[in-house]
Amino acid sequence: MSTVHNLSGRHVVVVGGTSGIGLAVAEHAAAAGARVTVAARTPGRAPALPAGVTAEQVDLTSTDSVEALFDRVGTFDHLVLSAGPGAMGSVRELASTDARTFMDIKFWGYYDAVRAAADRIAEDGSITLLGGGASRKHAPGRPMMAAINAAIEAFGKANAIDLAPVRVNVIAPGLVDTPAYAALPDEMRQGMLAGYAASVPAGRAGLPEDVASAALFLMTNTYVTGTVIDIDGGVQVS
C-alpha cells in the first residue's frame, strides 16, 4: 500500500489559494496529481502558479460572489478554505465594525462557501477549514481571533455530521510565516517569529508547507472526519 498522497483525477478548490497556507496547499495538491482551482479577491496578484492550477475571482464577503464561483467550478472533490485576515485588539481597541468585517470574511464567508459546495462536492470528498489555535490558546488582544476560530471548529465538527459521507475537518495552525505578516516592519516580524520559536516545544514558527501536508492528509485519509488538527509546534501545551 502506498503512503504517498495521490490526488490524480481529483479536482481541489482552495479559497485563499493565492498566498501563504492556501498557495502551499494548492502547490502540494497539484504535485500530488490534482487539478486545482485557487480563488481570491485579486487572483492576478498570485505568483506564477504551477501547471494544473487555475485562478478564479471570489470575494468571501459576498454571498453572490461565492455562489457564482461554485457555479463556475461545477462538481469537484476537495475544498480547502484558507482565507481571512486577523483582527487583533482587546474589545477596548477593536472597533465593532472591524470585528464584524473579520467575521464577515472568516466566518460568514466560510459558511457561504460550505453551503455552496455542499451539493457540488463528491460524496467521497472532503472539506477542510483553516481555523487557528487562538481558539483555545488565549493571549492578550485576541478575543475575536479566539471567537472566530472557536466558531469554525464547532462549525466544522457539526458539518461532519450533516454533510456525511463528505468528510469535514479543521486545521488550527499556530504562527505560520506567510505574507499575512508582510505589512509588519521586518524587525517586528522577525521578533514575533523568534519569540514564538522560543516559546514552543518544536523550537520554530511554522511554514506554509507544514500546514499543506496536513491538508493533503485530510483529503486522502478517508477515516478522518469531524476533527481539529493542531499544526502549531506544540503551542497548546506550552
Ligand X SMILES: NC(=O)c1ccc[n+]([C@@H]2O[C@H](COP(=O)([O-])OP(=O)(O)OC[C@H]3O[C@@H](n4cnc5c(N)ncnc54)[C@H](OP(=O)(O)O)[C@@H]3O)[C@@H](O)[C@H]2O)c1
Neighbours of 194 (CB within 10 A): 12
Q: Which of 27, 59, 77, 112 binds ligand X (CB under 6 A)?
A: 59
Is there binding between residue 105 and ligand X (CB under 6 A)?
Answer: yes
Is there binding between residue 128 and ligand X (CB under 6 A)?
Answer: no
Segment lying near ligand X (by CB under 6 A), choices 29-37, 113-121, 171-179, 215-223: 171-179
Q: How far is the CB of 11 from ligand X (least distance, A)?
A: 19
Q: How far is CA 148 from CA 119, 185, 208, in A?
A: 25, 26, 21
Measured CA angle at 199 (ends 193, 204), to 5 deg:
45
Segment lying near ligand X (by CB under 6 A), choices 56-64, 67-75, 116-124, 220-228: 56-64
Quickly tell me which residue has 457564482 as its cell. 68
Is there binding between residue 22 and ligand X (CB under 6 A)?
Answer: yes
Q: Which of 13, 21, 69, 228 binds ligand X (CB under 6 A)?
A: 21
Give the per-residue contact string, 177-196, with ligand X (x = CB under 6 A; - = no): -xxx----------------
Is there binding between residue 47 and ligand X (CB under 6 A)?
Answer: no
Is there binding between residue 83 and ligand X (CB under 6 A)?
Answer: yes
Q: What is the dihedral of CA 95, 98, 104, 105, to 10 degrees?
A: -150
Q: Are 116 and 67 in contact (CB under 8 A)?
A: yes
Binding residue count for ligand X, defined by CB under 6 A: 27
DSSP strands (E only) in 69-164: 76-81, 121-130
| Nearest to ligand X of 126, 135 (CB atom) | 135
Max intra-chain CA distance, the chain: 55
Q: Are 210 and 231 in contact (CB under 8 A)?
A: yes
Amino acid identity, residue 39? A
Q: Which chain residues interact with ligand X by CB under 6 A?
A: 16, 18-22, 40-42, 45, 58-61, 82-84, 105-106, 130, 132, 173, 175-176, 178-180
